[in-house]
Amino acid sequence: MKNKYLLPFALTTLMAALSGCGGESAKVIPEVYDSSTAHGACTIDSAGCLGFALDYPLDGLNFTCSSDTKNSFVTYLDLQNGVAQGACKVGDSITFFIKGEKDKKINLGTLNLNEIAKVSTSQLPRLTILDIAFGITGRKAVDINSNTDGTVKVAIRIAKILQALAQQGNSIVDPTDIQALYITDQMRRDLENILESIAQEKFVNATDIEFESLLKPWVDISTISDEQGRTTVLKLITIANAGVYQPEFSLFSTSGVLGSLLSGSDGLVGCNKSTCNTTDSSTQHLFGHFMLLTDRDGYTFGSGLQWRGAGISDTSTIGGLNTKLLTTTKPIRMTANAQNHWINPVTKKIDQNFDFQVDNVLTPLSIYQGTLYNDYMIAGKEKFYKLLTGKTEVALADRYDFGLWRQTIGSENFQGTLDLYKIFPITYLDKRVFKTINNVKFGEGYLFPMYADLTFKFTDTTVPDIVLGIVIDEKGNIRTNMKSDSTGDMSTASCDSSKFNASTYVNDGVQQYRIGTVSRAFTNDKTLSLRMVLANAKLGNINGALVGMNSNIKTSSSGDNIVIGGALLNVSNLLNLTTGTAEVTFKDSAVDTVKWASTLASFQKVYNTNNQTHTTDDKQLAKLSGGTLTFALASCYTVKPKI
C-alpha cells in the first residue's frame, strides 16, 4: 500500500519566469497574489523536479510517480494561480487514477512525462485531458474534431465524467462550463458503489452504453452529451494554449543556464544571406520583437517591431549588432491581425504560416515552423534546442521543430530563426468572480458582458487623451466597442449585444477588433487580471499599446526601460447586485495607477536620442510611448438578473 502525502513548496514568481526569457533585458513584475503549494514527489524549485498544471481545475486527482515506489499523491487546486498542480521528477512516468474510499478506482493510464516536458523550469507546463487520454491509449491525438480519433474519444469520456461530477454537485449550470472540481470524501465513498474498478482499457473498448452502465452507480455521465464533452475538451486545450508569446530580446542577456532557468536565446534574428555574418557590411541583418496574445477563442493577435541594417565590423555578437541597429536605425512596426491559427493546440506545432504585416512592405514576415516544448519555449537554433530538450545530438528530423521565419523585402529574401517564450498562461474563470448568464442561477445577477470605456492618457501631455469603448464578453475575451463617428470618437457605442455579429466582429455596422483577454480571476479579493495588445491601424495613436503585461523591457545598458505594469479590475462591489451598477477599481500590481506602453514609440524615442537626423514625424511618434490608463463602466451598463 502506498502512502499519501503532500509536499508544500513555494512556486517561484513570474519574475523568475521571464528572467529566463531575456536575461537582463526583460523582467516580470510579479502579481501580488502569486504564491502556491502543490502535491508531488519533489519540490518544484529543486533540481530535477518537474511540476505540472492540469488544464482542468481538478483538486484530488490521484497520481503516482515512477521514481517513488512508496507514496501516492493528489493534485492540489491552487486558487491563487487558478490551476491544479502536482510534481514528479524529470523523466518519471506518472500514473493517474481516481481512488475510492477502499479499493475501487478509475484507472486513467500512465504517461511518460518526457512527452510533456524534459527540462525543469519555473513555469508549469500544462498537462491536458488529451495528454491523459494519450496515456490511456498510447496514441497521440491528431484531430479534435474527428469522430474516429480514439484518443479524442477517450478524452471526451474523461471530460464527461468530470462534468457530470460537477453537475451532480451543483458546481456548474452549463454542461460545458469549466469550474473548480474537488474530489470529495463523499465522492470517494460513493465510488465504492461501482461493481468493479474501471480498467483503462474500458475507456478504449467499452461501448457507450457499457461505459455509462459501469459508472452509473457512481455518476450518470449520460447527462453530458458527447458533443458537450467534445466542447469541454476543446475549451480546455484552447485555454491551455492561450497566453502571451514573445521572443527573447537579445540585447543585454547572457548565454547559458541561469540558475534553473533557460536563457541565452537569440530571439527573432536573420539576414538576407544563407550565413548571417555580424561583421559583414554587405549583409543586411534583421532582428525583431513582438508580443502576441492568444485568447480564449484560440485567436492570436499582437504588435511588434523590427530593425534592419548592415553588419558592423567591430561587432562580433548578435546582441552587440542588435544594440547597434536599435540605436542607429528606425524601428519598423509589425502588426499581427487576429488569426485563428498559431500554435496547434493538439500537436503544439506551427503548422501553417503566421503573418505579421510590416509597415511599407508588401509581403508579410511569416513564421512558418516551430514546435513548443515544455509548454513554454520554441528553439530556433541548435544550441538552444539542445538546452531545451536535453539532447546531445540533433538529427535532421529534429530541425523541423526549429522556429523559422522568412520575409521578402523588395528583391531581397530575408530568413532567420526564432526563439520564443510562452508566458502568462491563462486559467479557467471562477464563477464566484466572473459571473455570466451561463454560470449563475435564475434570479442571480450576472456581470458579463461588461461594457466600459478605457481612457488612455499620454505621458506627453500635448497628446490628447483617447477614450476607447470595450466589451469584456461572457467568455472572458476583450474587444473594442467603438462608435461610428467622423470626429474619431472611439468611446462606447452601446450596450446592446444583439447588434454584435460574432462572425464578422461588426457591431451596429462598425468593425470591432479583438484586443485582449481576462487571464485569471482571483477569488480572494474578487479581482480580474486583464491583458491587452491593441494592434490595428484603426486605433490611431494607441495602435500598438500594451496593457497588463507585467514586464519591464530594458532599452539600454544604462538602465532605461519600458514599463508595462499589471491591470487588475476589482469587481467586488458588483457581485452582490441583482440589478444596477456600483463602483469598480482598476489598479496595477503595486496598487497604483495602471500604466500602458508602446514599444514602437518607445524605441523611436531611443532612435531620436541617438540620431540628430530624426524628422518631425519621428518626434511625433515618440510622444506616443505610453502613459496611464483608467477604466470606467459605460453609462449604459448594468448588472442584469438571469430570468
Segment 522-543, tens digit of pLDDT: 999 999 999 999 999 999 999 9
Buried b (16+ CB within 10 A) or exposed e, 242-270: bbbbbbbbbbbbebeebebbbbbbbbbbb
Task: Fill in the DSSP letter of residue 397.
Answer: G
Residue 430 in any domain: the answer is: no
Q: How many domains does the chain have?
A: 3
pLDDT at 315: 76
Regarding whether 590 and 486 lie in a shared domain, the answer is yes
Say if residue 360 is exposed, middle or buried (CB neighbours under 10 Å; 0-12, 13-18, 19+): exposed
Task: Say what angle helices 150-168 and 226-241 make with each other, to 10 degrees.
Answer: 100
Grid cell listed for 139? 496514441
Regarding whether 360 and 229 lie in a shared domain, the answer is no
How many CA within 13 A on the CB side of residue 642? 16
Regarding whether 454 and 600 lie in a shared domain, the answer is yes
3-state secondary structure of 355: strand
Q: How far apart (Å, rounded) are the C-alpha atoms in residues 368 and 485?
A: 39
For residue 531, CA distances in Å to 210, 447, 515 come to 45, 19, 8
CA max distance for the chain: 82
How many helices and strands, by DSSP H and E, does the chain display? 12, 43
Regarding whether 357 and 490 lie in a shared domain, the answer is no
Residue 434 in any domain: the answer is: no
Contact criterion met (CB below 8 Å) for 532 and 539: no
Task: Fill in the DSSP letter of residue 119.
Answer: S
Regarding whether 485 and 406 lie in a shared domain, the answer is no
Regarding whether 418 and 347 lie in a shared domain, the answer is yes
For residue 248, CA distances in Å to 383, 387, 421, 547 come to 15, 15, 7, 19
Contact criterion met (CB below 8 Å) for 442 and 643: yes
What is the pTM for the complete model shown? 0.90
User: Pairing mode, if any, of strands 261-263 and 594-598?
Assistant: unpaired
Task: Fill in the DSSP letter of residue 97.
Answer: E
Regarding whether 328 and 230 lie in a shared domain, the answer is no
Regarding whether 286 and 228 lie in a shared domain, the answer is no
Q: Last residue of a domain, which of 241, 256, 274? A: 241
Q: How far apart (Å, rounded) are the C-alpha atoms in residues 612 and 104?
A: 77
Residue 68 in any domain: the answer is: yes
Q: Flag residues of the chain having pLDDT under 50.
A: 1-38, 252-262
Residue 104 in any domain: the answer is: yes
Q: Which residues have a Cβ under 8 Å from the Cβ of 346 and sit 6 or more positions away?
A: 130, 141, 142, 143, 144, 237
Task: Fill in the DSSP letter of residue 254.
Answer: -
**Phi, psi (rounded to 5 degrees) for 607:** -60, -45
Q: How far apart (Å, rounded) are the C-alpha atoms in residues 357 and 340?
A: 16
For residue 330, CA distances in Å to 306, 327, 359 come to 9, 8, 12
Amino acid at 367: I
Q: How far apart (Å, rounded) are the C-alpha atoms in residues 41 and 55?
A: 20
Among candidates 385, 387, 414, 388, which has minimal Cα distance to 399? 385
For residue 249, CA distances in Å to 132, 305, 322, 626 come to 35, 11, 9, 20
Residue 329 in any domain: the answer is: yes
Residue 428 in any domain: the answer is: no
Q: Last residue of a domain, which of 226, 241, 256? A: 241
CA-CA-CA-CA torsion sign (309, 310, 315, 317): positive
Among candidates 540, 477, 465, 480, which has minimal Cα distance to 510? 480
Radius of gyration, alpha carbons of the chain: 25
Q: How far apart (Å, rounded) are the C-alpha atoms in residues 600 and 306?
A: 9
Contact criterion met (CB below 8 Å) for 22 and 319: no
Regarding whether 258 and 272 lie in a shared domain, the answer is yes
Q: Last residue of a domain, which of 222, 241, 260? A: 241
Q: How far apart (Å, rounded) are the C-alpha atoms in residues 266 and 471?
A: 37
Q: How far apart (Å, rounded) are the C-alpha atoms in residues 399 and 456?
A: 44
Regarding whether 277 and 187 lie in a shared domain, the answer is no
Residue with cell 478605457: 454
In degrees, rounded to 5, the angle at the alpha carbon of residue 373 between the alpha carbons of residues 57 and 260 is 85
User: Pairing mode, if any, of strands 71-74 and 76-78?
Assistant: unpaired
Regarding whether 253 and 187 lie in a shared domain, the answer is no
Regarding whether 176 and 38 lie in a shared domain, the answer is yes
H-only helix segments in 474-598 = 572-575
3-state secondary structure 198-230: ECHHHHHHCCHHHHHHHHCCCCCHHHCCHHHHH
Say if residue 576 is exposed, middle or buried (CB neighbours under 10 Å; 0-12, 13-18, 19+): exposed
**Phi, psi (rounded to 5 degrees) for 40:** 165, -175
- The DSSP H or E segment spanning 133 is helix 129-137
Residue 270 in any domain: the answer is: yes
Residue 437 in any domain: the answer is: no
Residue 347 domain boundaries: 243-423
CB atoms within 10 A of CB 231: 18
Taking phi over 0 as left and psi of -120 to 50 as alpha, with beta for the rest, 252 belongs to alpha
pLDDT at 20: 33
Strand partners, 406: 366, 415
